A and B are shown apart, each in its own frame.
Chain A
Amino acid sequence: MLEQLDLSQVNWARAQFALTAMYHWIFVPLTLGLSFLLAFFETIYYKTGNEKWKNLTRFWMKLFGINFAIGVATGIILEFQFGTNWSNYSWMVGDIFGAPLAAEGIFAFFLETTFFAVMFFGWNKVSKKFHLLSTWLVAIGSNLSALWILIANGWMQHPVGMAFNPDNARFEMDSFWDILFSPVGVSHFVHTTSSSFLVGCLFIVTISSWYLLKGRHIDMAKKSLVVAATFGLIASAFVGFTGDESAYTAAQVQPMKLAAMEGLWDGEVNADLVALGIVNPGKKAGDDSEAFQLEIKLPYLLSLLANRELGSFVPGVNDLVYGNAEHGIVGAGEKILIGKKAIHSLALYKQAKDRGDQDAADIALVEFNKNQHYLGYGYLSKPEDIVPMVPLVFYSFHVMVVLGSLFPVLFAAILFFLYKDTLHRQKWFLRFGVFGVFLGWLASEAGWVVAEVGRQPWAIQGLLPVSIARTNLTTTTVQMTFFMFLFIFTVLLIAEIRIMLKQIQIGPEGE
């Protein structure tokens, strides 16, 4: 299967996925967060009957619509890209991975789009109550779509509920519930949605801060901020809690990702947590060079974070690559040998089946079953292949954590100043507030870099490396579509930003 391997093609396919996913992810957190904020705003209008809340809802709804359109545009390619650029992946795990994607369409997208039309066209056509219900259903639908796709992504990080079928060389689902309620999938979902709520709240912080600085739409800005800062503060608590949970599950099922997140090359008992640091960019697995050029450590905390137990051992990159007998860690080299045996016996099994030799097939199958737990490793060529880009993962993780810790302070301060009724006078604070959503985007995208780059070289952790998962395409073909998407998404992004800025400048109706 490896004979046609063309590394640069895989990397272009990865770059295309990263490009389209990261573009898409500019808009999705806003949809997830703003949809609930709209539901809150409209609920207040419904309860109070105050037209100001209606105008406020409609203003944010207009911005939501502009964002939603480009979110849809950038999203469709992701649904089909598994097939176009990762067709081997699609076959090998389609039996499992297809189901959440179809469920997403059935349970979420129709809900979202049908009631989206009511939200925008229905103000004078349906009752206030039904309109409010529609707004809530758009929020629920959007977040349900996140549920299904994150369940699918969680499964790629930690594959459960399936078995390999040697007859057709694919993984098959044997427990839908194990996949749906996989702890990795669930913490992934809650972490991603709650952090997206936060980005939605920061969007409102940015625009409202700008209005307050300009002395325009002050009442609307303050009203919006009360709701957004409260929601943002609550969401922050979830982000922190599930972030801790995500790090813990990474330590349990993706220890290499955790080692990269922390720049931990050699495992330690009572490992320290690197709060901030500058990594040595040239460091490779197995060399003796320093891991950091500069670092600030918090003693013992990494052991606590990773295993929830002081005195516990946290494996580093080198332990996972070369093994550590003392702590019972099998090295990647040994796993590769076992994986190659599995691949070999799978080939023997198929050959025996083809010539109708059942006895030989049975023997090969027994051998395969003995070794299949490291099947994916068999496609790697050397132990060092399991190491992701440590500096990128390290910095992304730390940027995400630092910003994630800053946001609750920002929301709390907004609530404090609103309570004191001095927010509009806090010029420097408001200037900082204008940057809110940009920092939110940075943290959110960084989170995805940690999740996705951190698990390289795996498309599916431990089972399928990206080099096998790809479609058999030429590099030029993938490059062409890469630049096609880069061009069109950039043009549309420019259009979106200009339209958005204009609408912000125009401000809400009736003010």
Chain B
Amino acid sequence: MGSLDLSQLQHLWWLLISVIGAAFILMTFVQGGQGLLYCIARTEVEKSLMINSLGKKWEITFTTLVLFGGAFFAAFPLFYSTSFGGAYWVWMLILFTFILQAVSYEYRKKPDNFLGAKVYEVFLIINGTVSVLLIGIAVGTFFSGSNFTLSDYNFVTWHHPGRGIEAAFSLFNLSFGLFLVFLARVLGALYLNNNIEHEVLNKRTREAAFTNLLWALPFLLYVLISLLVMNGYAVDPISGLVSLEKGKYLANLLALPINGLGFLLVGLVLVVWGVVSTRFLSSRKGIWFSGLGTVLVVLAIFSIAGYNNTAFYPSKYDLQSSLTIFNASSSHYTLTAMCYIALALSVVIGYVWYVWSILDAKKLREADILVEGSHEKY
């Protein structure tokens, strides 16, 4: 790793950011599950089953989001400073919903909890939908652009009073957000279908996965078609100048046959297969297919946003302020040092996998939460 040049490191780190981003979107099955709480659970026991099932996982999603922020800070600090400082309200609102989530599992059923169980459930639903919607809107701006300029010293000035909220009024960004919301719900339903042993819940999650996939489709189609025809933000590799290029993202998909077009198509097929096999073949393993598919789709989206000489965080206000993996990155030294640190991620994945395989060795059943002195926590 020490022998990689700066450009290779920048590409590698964009890949790592993409992987962490993909892992996060996969893990939004927790948010999706939360969003389905009142749609699927009709009784207290059913609600408890759902919450206890998601409750073992929510912290990893949360931690992945924190890691995503930390890794972006370390590898592409100019994105961290420009987007978080610039699109202020979007990020603040996202964080706010995660604050609500962090206490809700633990406090919902505790006696004397001040707000009552219902409020904590509503917190979970807010986090389950609003956070994913806003994250989708924020990622949408990777393609649709934002209104900022950078000074000679790379300090950001945002040229819209909405401070990021204005992104929600773009049909493209909104569709992106809604697609992610319904995708999260698909994943949530599939996860719950896999994790809980309960006839009624299994039936409802099976149906919910399918219904939410149908809801996701029009938004997905709108996003995909827009991506194929919209102008993209191209970077001249020699001069570093950014210009608008017709069909840039279509060109990127084709220029990246494996991690662009390939991942996107295979990913989408896998997502659909996960749902179809669950809905019509009564498979319980749909989450594995749709989960892997989600990871591939997100990797493809990040690839066409950042690779092939593309500005991944474009400014439509001032093209030359746009961020690319080249001008936004950390130094050669820091990227190299961070590569060594990132090797530890393989150990992390190893122990998370191991621990989950133990905790999920037996499916969650009604009896688990009804037994006196139950060790199910929430």
Interface flag for A479 (CB, 8 Å): no
Residue of B nearest to A171 (CB): B331
Contact with A along B336-378 (1 / 0, CB 8 A): 0110011011001001100100110110000000000101110
Interface flag for B74 (CB, 8 Å): yes
Residue of A nearest to B329 (CB): A95
Q: List, in ascending order, chain B residues with CB within 8 A of A111's CB.
A: 348, 351
Q: Is the CB of A72 within 8 A of B355?
A: no
Per a CB cutoff under 8 Å, which of B83, B95, B110, B158 touches A77?
Answer: B95
A87 touching B63 in the complex, CB below 8 Å, given contacts A98-B80, A495-B103: no
Per a CB cutoff under 8 Å, which of A68, A76, A95, A106 touches B331?
Answer: A95
Chain A nearest CB from B154 CB (Å) reads: 5
Interface flag for B7 (CB, 8 Å): no
Q: List, in ascending order, chain B residues with CB within 8 A of A70's CB.
A: 102-103
Q: List, in ascending order, chain A residues with CB within 8 A of B355's CB.
A: 114-115, 117-118
Distance between Cα atoms of A97 and B74 in the complex (Å): 7
A98 touching B330 in the complex, CB below 8 Å, given contacts A109-B66, A170-B154: yes
Q: List, in ascending order, chain A residues with CB within 8 A of B375's CB.
A: 120-125
Distance between Cα atoms of A90 and B348 in the complex (Å): 27
Q: List, in ascending order, chain B residues with CB within 8 A of A107's CB.
A: 341, 344
Interface flag for B199 (CB, 8 Å): no
Q: Is the CB of A496 within 8 A of B152?
A: no
Q: Is the CB of B352 within 8 A of A114?
A: yes
Q: Is the CB of A105 within 8 A of B99?
A: no
Per a CB cutoff under 8 Å, which of A96, A116, A503 touches B59?
Answer: A116
Chain B nearest CB from A478 CB (Å) reads: 9
Please name 29 pairs of A and B residues whose Cβ atoms are closer than 8 Å in the assembled complex, sorted by A.
A77-B99, A83-B81, A84-B85, A91-B78, A91-B81, A91-B155, A99-B337, A101-B73, A103-B70, A107-B344, A114-B352, A120-B377, A121-B377, A122-B375, A125-B358, A125-B361, A125-B375, A165-B331, A173-B330, A173-B331, A471-B85, A472-B156, A488-B100, A492-B103, A495-B107, A496-B107, A499-B112, A499-B114, A509-B373
Given contacts A73-B99, A84-B84, A492-B99, 10 further A-B contacts (CB under 8 A): A98-B73, A101-B70, A125-B361, A125-B375, A350-B152, A471-B88, A473-B85, A498-B113, A502-B110, A502-B111
Interface residues, chain A, with chain B CB atoms under 8 Å away: 1, 65-66, 68-70, 72-74, 76-77, 79-80, 82-91, 94-99, 101-107, 109-111, 113-118, 120-126, 130, 165, 168-170, 172-174, 176, 350, 471-473, 477, 481, 484, 488, 491-492, 494-496, 498-499, 501-503, 506, 509
Interface residues, chain B, with chain A CB atoms under 8 Å away: 56-57, 59-60, 62-63, 65-67, 69-75, 77-78, 80-86, 88-89, 91-92, 95-96, 98-103, 105-107, 110-115, 151-158, 163, 330-331, 333-334, 337-338, 341-342, 344-345, 348, 351-352, 355, 358-359, 361-362, 373, 375-377
